[in-house]
Amino acid sequence: ILPEATLTRYGRRITDLAEPLDGPFVTGLAEAAKESGLSVVAGVFETGPGRVYNTAVALDETGTLLAAYRKIHLFDSFGSKESELVLPGEEPVVVELAGLRVGLITCYDVRFPELGRALTDLGADLFAVIAAWGSGPMKEEHWATLVRARAIENTTWVAAVGQAPNPETADGFGIGRSMLVDPMGVVHTDLGTTPAVRTCVFDPQITIATRNSLPCLEHRRLQVGRS
């Protein structure tokens, strides 16, 4: 799993550097996936009408593009205005990769619990959260708290992969802190703030045990608050 904005860092240049999903960048990812025998999730900027889409692509180990999720919630907060350059997506996406049903979430999306719940209802075993999280006061705390909250409330594994900070740039995007969190909210790995790659173990038995002891998804009262 690679971060949001893997194709290029954020900036007004994304409208010039965006590509169609059959363009050279995703084609290169597909070739790398096939060569390594690994499934891949990565964030790209996809050409769109007038603006671009902030898209998470999911490719299987043969290099086949199985899904593309266009970011639904755009980061018009903390002085940023993503919607000036990016068109919003409309549909949640769950894709089967390496025997897992993976729900795709991009950066600011993680602040919206209804998206995580929709992905859970679509059968996600794991959320892949990709981000180029903006830095600033309390932002690292927000990231870590929100990632764990999405895991706990949905009793679902979360692999949250954040762009590492680059001291040579002044755009403020990227705090690192890539994490794997289990359905009880236990952080199994935290890569800190420096660039790193790590292989982690997903154990579906933890999901089963958690949901047996904490069946909160079964306790929802969907009629509450509805007229």
Q: Is the pLDDT of residue 227 over 70?
A: no
pLDDT, tens only, 145-196: 999 999 999 999 999 999 999 888 878 899 999 999 999 999 999 999 999 9
Cα 227 to the center of its chain, rounded Å: 33
Q: Give CA–CA dist 81/34, Å, rounded.
A: 36
34 noted as active-site residue: no
Helices (H), the chain: 14-17, 24-36, 113-121, 139-154, 204-213
* Catalytic option among 61, 82, 107, 218: 107
φ/ψ of 175, rounded to 5, equals -120, 0
Yes or no: say if 187 and 179 are a contact pair by the CB < 8 Å rule.
Answer: yes
Residue of 35, 61, 71, 84 marked active site? 71
pLDDT by residue (tens digit) across 104-122? 999 999 999 999 999 999 9
Q: Are the C-beta atoms of 44 and 4 separated by less than 8 Å?
A: no
216 annotated active-site: no
Q: Which residues of 4-17 are buried (b: 16+ CB within 10 A; e: fewer)?
A: bbbbebbeeebbee
Global pTM? 0.96
How high is the pLDDT of residue 13? 94
pLDDT one-digit tens code per residue, 6-59: 999 999 999 999 999 999 999 999 999 999 999 999 999 999 999 999 999 999
